Amino acid sequence: MDGLNLLKKDWKKRESDIPQLSYDQIYKMLWKRSSSIVKWIFVISILEFLFWALLTIFMADIDYWTEMERINLKEFTVTVYVINYAVTFFFIYCFYKNYRKISSTDNVAGLMKNILRTRKTVKYYIGYILLSTALITLIYTYFMMDYHATNTVVEDMEKYSFTSIQWIKFAGIIIGGLAVFLGLLWLFYKVLYGILLRRLNKNYKELKKLEV
């Protein structure tokens, strides 16, 4: 018998051993789109990292470093950069791991767990950024004030010393300014990741409905 015809016959015969998936099994596969959302989170984290990195490179020119050197903050700034990059890389790695995990999960329970984990990672990441920004700003303010207090020569000390009410006002302005800045930063991240997180959450809820 001709080989190709034999093959065709056998092919037809095999039609009956094809595994059949149920409606539910196929339906669940559609929820794999979570994986593409998580992929976007990963991609955005990298883009965002590049954005900040480029911004720092442009802003941190020679003048910037000379100024830092002058106020004795060069070492501190370098340390902050190193730690910041390390932590950011760590988060990018986490996003990548989440993405790998979510795209290789078949069962609904695992997918739900991964969605929750991804949401948590994003929240930690945003939390880290807000906290570190607040901390670094406060430390810089302190150092700068300290520097000016010890190095600026003033003739009339009376004129430049604060009463306690003035100190409170000053601290209020600093904290208020910082709060507004952090609020804006928070808003930025809310927009950047919020849409994706909301979609993930929607998927999560749908999956939950499937489970019960």
Partner 1 sequence: MDKELEHQFVTNLEKYQNIAHKICRIYTNDQDSHNDLFQEITIQLWKAYPKFRGEAKFSTWMYRVALNTAITLYRKKKRSIRTQDFDTVDFKIKAEEYDDETEQQLKVMYSAIQELNDIEKALVFLYLEDKNYRDISETLGITEVNARVKMNRVKTKLKNILNP
Binding status of residue 5 toward partner 1 by CB under 8 A: no
Beta strands in the chain (DSSP E): none
Is 17 or 63 the residue whose CB approaches partner 1 more closely? 17
Between residues 6 and 154, which has the closer beta carbon with respect to partner 1?
6
Number of residues that bind partner 1 (CB under 8 A): 24
Minimum distance of partner 1 from residue 143's CB (angstroms): 52
| Residue 72 backbone zone (phi > 0: left; psi -120 to 50: alpha; other: beta) | left
| Residue 192, C-beta contacts closer than 8 angstroms, at least 6 positions apart | 44, 48
101 binds partner 1 (CB under 8 A): no
Is 165 a binding residue for partner 1 by CB under 8 A? The answer is: no
Compute the distance between CA of residue 175 and CA of residue 169 in angstroms, rounded to an integer: 10
Based on CB atoms, which residue is closest to partner 1, 20 or 150? Answer: 20
Task: Name which position in 106, 120, 123, 161 contacts partner 1 (CB under 8 A).
Answer: 106
Q: How far is the CB of 131 from partner 1 (least distance, A)?
A: 36
Contact between 184 and partner 1 per CB under 8 A = no
Query: What is the full DSSP assignment across 114-176?
Result: HHHHHHHHHHHHHHHHHHHHHHHHHHHHHHHHHHHHHH---S-HHHHPPPHHHHHHHHHHHHH
Return the closest-CA partner of residue 196 out of 101, 133, 126, 104. 126
Q: Least distance to partner 1 from the beta carbon of 30, Å?
A: 6
- Cβ proximity to partner 1: between 8 and 120 the closer is 8
Q: What values do phi and psi take at 152, rounded to 5?
A: -90, 130
Residues that bind partner 1 (CB under 8 A): 1, 3-4, 6-8, 10-11, 13-15, 18-23, 26-27, 29-30, 32-33, 106
